[in-house]
Structure 1
Amino acid sequence: MTVRPATTADDAFLRALYAAGRAAELDQVAWPPGQREAFVAMQHDLRERLYREAYPAGEFLVVEVDGRPAGRLCVNRGPDEVRVVDIALLPVHQGQGIGAALLRRLLDEAAAAGVPVALQVERDSPARALYERLGFVPVAEDDVRLHLTWRAS
């Protein structure tokens, strides 16, 4: 597994990754031809723009497995925390320890810098169990998400 900066050449992959992450939700709608793809593109592009505006110093990375795109990692390193803005893997690559390995790298980096790692997760996301196994704890919540933080012991 490797990570590299995302480029415009990754746009189609990143849209497909976004669509894969929302497939269960999107499958509940009977979409007219082409409308689902247009909706996914619009939502993905909006999210990307908002992330880049909110985190102008953030790293937007593509995760590769055996030289092929498998996911993404967006990280914002600030003086007071490392924030995981987004982490996502294609379904075929989930459950193989890739996400845990990516997060452990960040946890090691944050521990060395003496700062916490923060992220948000939807309450019903399967990723929540991974975050809790790694030692993230809830610090706030809203109707949809938990705000989690990890601190070195």
Structure 2
Amino acid sequence: MSATPEIIFRTCTASDFDFVKQVHFASLREAITHSSGWDDEEQNRFVSRWFKPERVQIIQRITQCNAEDAGFLIVERQKDRIFLESLSLLPKFQNQGIGKLILKGLITEAEKSKAPITLLVLKANRARKLYDSLGFIQTFEDRTHSHLKWEGPRDPEQSGALSASCPSEH
């Protein structure tokens, strides 16, 4: 990766349902298949249950003068924590630093608000390595998921995020 990727967030609308479902299917099929088995109908029902456009931000990758939908982000901000519900990217946008940029933006927000970041990640999800590299620690594990928490940098080099910031819910 030669340069920091440029990204923006746009508001999700009801018409983005098919895109969000496509991203969910493309980004998590392998990990879900490995963890518990994949069933298209079950995954359709799953996405239909949690999809609420007002909770979702669409991640767009900026290339030259274009903005291309790359994935989606769901963050729930509470008084005592920031819960990263989902950060999913289409495979062609993975391993470009986009996820790391977004996570570092959340870490900056967490540092300022003095709130931890919590999340669940499928044990078979390759993103686990990224979370570990940014100082997330496992607090619990069940059959399919690891429960992770970021409470602060483990070393000074992990502090100080890149310039991107995540959209805030007001």
- Contact 1:5 1:59 (8 Å CA) reproduced: no
Alpha-carbon displacement from aligned partner over 1:32-74 (angstroms, at most 9, x marks no partner): xxxx4x554333212326xx9xxxxx84110001211100100
Aligned partners of 1:20 and 1:47: how far apart in 2? Answer: 17
Partner of residue 140, structure 2? 140
What SS is found at the alignment partner of 1:126? coil
What SS is found at the alignment partner of 2:125? coil
Aligned partners of 2:81 and 2:105: how far apart in 1? Answer: 14
The code of the aligned residue for 2:12 comes to A
Partner of residue 62, structure 1? 58
The code of the aligned residue for 1:21 comes to S
Partner of residue 9, structure 1? 15
Matched, 1:112 2:118: no
Higher helix share: 1
Cα offset, 1:141, TM superposition: 1.1
- Contact 2:122 2:144 (8 Å CA) reproduced: yes
Q: Which moved more, 1:9-18 or 1:92-101?
A: 9-18
1:1-153 aligned at under 5 Å gives the runs 1-24=7-30, 25=33, 36=40, 40-48=43-51, 59-66=55-62, 67-153=67-153
The code of the aligned residue for 2:24 comes to Y
The 1:152–1:39 alpha-carbon spacing in structure 2 relative to 1, beyond 3 Å, is closer
Q: What is the number of residues matched between the two proteins?
A: 139
- Contact 2:28 2:125 (8 Å CA) reproduced: no
The code of the aligned residue for 2:27 comes to G
TM-score computed with the length of structure 1 as normaliser: 0.81
Give the fraction of aligned pairs with identical amino acids, expressed as a percent.
27
**RMSD between aligned residues:** 2.3
- Structure 2 gaps of 5+ residues are 1-6, 154-170
Cα offset, 1:147, TM superposition: 0.6
